[in-house]
Chains A and B, each alone.
Chain A
Amino acid sequence: MQSSAAQKSQEKAAKLINDLQDISFLKIAMIVLGAWIIIALIRKILPYLAERGPNQLRLYLLGAVPVIRLFLLVGAIMWIIPLVFNITFQNFLVIAGAASVAIGFAFKDYVSSIIAGVVAIFEKPYRPGDWVQIGEDYGEVKSVGMRSLQILTPSDDMITVPHDTLWSNNISNSNDGAKTLMCITHFYLEPDHDVEAVRAALYDVALTSAYLEYSKPVLVMVSQETWGTHYKLKAYPFDMRDQFSFISDLTARGKLALRKLGVKEVVALMPGTLRE
């Protein structure tokens, strides 16, 4: 009797997958459906609240979406696995071996992106609401999915970037979770002018912008180039979504201020153009 019970227990332990009649498919379906619905709601509600709520909460709400999704997915998977698989150490080794083969041959890049996505949630090279440069693409991170992130560029293009870009490319984050970022407005002037007067004028242009963030500094950098003098007006808008309006405002009023000073801008020649 005892040996029969032990033998049965051993047989049961050796089974990888539970008997079909022991698997509650309805329960599994409910778990999957419930997790899917909650994730879908979170992906809709939090960005909605972020756009309509106070500015200070926007980045926190957007950043919470991938974190909550990760926890829900992990929770759902941890709940389903014991319902399907007979969890023993022996079975775990079997599953790990099979998974390694599948990952090695077919899903290598996919899994690499997923793992990179999990790493990104903790390392935070980008978050929803951040403005990032990945390769040649610059834009706002709209969503961070399991395999990829989506960036909306200033030209209103939605670019999907796999997370595994993280392994081999630099990711330049302009605001890193802050509500503002530095905007640089360039001016290219002919070299014969009063540098201090120009710096003071551009400084005042930034100080009198309607978009200016008061708690951040305003800087005017100047460097001499072979063709003339290059000015960089560096300032921060109070809302980084206004960065392009801010740069436009600084450019327009900066050019007006320079014209009033009688300073001329450099005119670039097209290659092959003859000038007498």
Chain B
Amino acid sequence: MALKIDDKPIQCIPLSDYKSPSLPTPRALQYFMEKTLARIRSIRNQDKEKIATDKLHAPRKDWLDTIAKPPAYTPILKVLDTTLKDWAQEQSPLGSKRLVVLPPCEAGNVLEVWAKNHGFETLPSPSRSDVFAGNTPELDIAKGPPLILSRLEDWYVRTPAGLKSIRALLRHIHQSERKILIGANPFAWEFLKKSVDAHYVLPDPVTPPPLQGEDLRNWFHDLSSQHVSRPFDFKLQKSGKDIFDLSQDKNKDYFNALAAKSLGIPWVAWYMWRDSLLTSDEVRDQEAEADDTRDSSPDSVDKSTKDGQSEHPSDHVLWVSALEEFSLPGTKSDMSLLVLQALLIHGSLSENELIQLLPEVGPLTVLPLLTRAGIVTHSDNFFRCKAEAYPAIYRGLKASGFPVGNL
């Protein structure tokens, strides 16, 4: 079911029905052949590109934040509004529980933001140290207004003692008369089904449907035309054509490929989109000079027509390059995959926590390798899987037989 950003509202679907967008078979075969030939012959297609890659650079972050404004989960908020509209109303039965499984690698906390937007109470999660120690939290959630539990992965760690908190929580949820909305990522859900039989207590999960190519095109077009004091043209590097021009088949291919590569996950597609935007040296220098002297204008100027064609062709061109392919670094053992699986199950972990959770002894020498390869990010002392690398991580885990769901 395609997600329309501005059309009629779309609801979450059962998690078991989630199917990532895929390229049509002829296009997939063509893409595979191109990739294989390029690898064998090391063909570089610069002579076919409208502008050579070595003349382009990543744009400034403030530009990127203007034309592809965070947060990346805006489409999901609308889906949640539609899905949970009845649940949130007072007419729905007391004690009803809803479980929403959201794709992994989302840096914010979508469910908590949604809860705040609607004025719902959220249940604070225990500290990681308490969970590691097996300290059962004191909970009083038997009666009261609707409650939001935004991330189940904050309530356990993958150790015997670390299951105590989540077991206590599930007992309280089962006994509670409140309406409770629970969020989890799919790796956490698979783990909890096995370790604590969470599927016996919680209802069948639902998840936002995958974004298709057309949805991404509409979304990014809307983002690029909001609050822009200076218009940009987005041109495909290979053809030089306006990327938002619907009459161009190559543009449709691009967004369909983006949907397929991002597995239909909004924030993955958002990061991939931002990473694919490049600017030329001239434009970057001109902008730097202009920024030094101009006053900021509060008025946004939308120069785009409805079909994405710019009325005022500008010198400010952003080139949309080929989507980056991530591949997991080759290691002799499965240690990198074990690290990535642990990060996905828990959301984020510090190095000390990873050492406690992984079966191998000694320092984690794969962490610098994964960070350098752009697979994981390290901030605030925590490691997380990067959203744009998630499809490669998912493929790697699935190919190696790790227990993964269909998201």
Contact = CB atoms under 8 A, between A and B. Distances in A.
Contacts of A239: 334, 400-401
B341 to A, nearest CB: 7
A257 B342 contact: no
Contacts of B399: 53-55
Interface residues of A, number: 26
B186 interface: no
Contacts of A213: 403
A222 B42 CA distance: 60
A179 B342 CA distance: 22
A208 B160 contact: yes
Given A201-B160, A205-B160, A210 B401 contact: no
B358 interface: yes
Given A207-B195, A238-B403, A239-B401, A248 B359 contact: yes
Given A204-B160, A204-B163, A207-B163, A238 B402 contact: yes
Contacts of B403: 212-215, 238
Nearest to A248: B359
Nearest to B403: A214
B338 interface: yes
Contacts of A201: 160
A249 interface: yes
A7 interface: no
Interface in A176-222: 179, 201, 204-205, 207-215
Interface residues of B, number: 23
Contact of B401 (A56, A245, A252, A253): A56
A225 interface: no
Interface of A: 53-56, 179, 201, 204-205, 207-215, 238-239, 242, 245, 248-249, 252-253, 257
Given A248-B359, A249-B359, A257-B160, A55 B401 contact: yes
Interface string B311-345: 00000000000000000000000100010011000
Nearest to A180: B401
Given A207-B194, A211-B359, A214-B194, A253 B160 contact: yes
Interface in B153-207: 158-160, 162-163, 190-191, 193-195
Q: Which of B163, B342, B401 has the most CB of A within 10 A?
A: B401
Contacts of B191: 214
A210 B163 contact: no
A210 B342 contact: yes
B158 A208 contact: yes
B357 interface: yes
Q: Which of B194, B338, B357 has the most CB of A within 10 A?
A: B194
Nearest to B345: A210
Nearest to A240: B401
A208 B401 contact: no
Contacts of A54: 398-399
Contacts of B190: 214
A195 B400 CA distance: 37
Contacts of B342: 210
B71 to A, nearest CB: 32
21 contacts: A54-B398, A54-B399, A55-B400, A56-B401, A207-B163, A208-B159, A208-B160, A208-B195, A210-B338, A210-B359, A213-B403, A214-B193, A214-B194, A239-B400, A242-B334, A245-B359, A248-B359, A249-B359, A252-B359, A253-B160, A257-B160
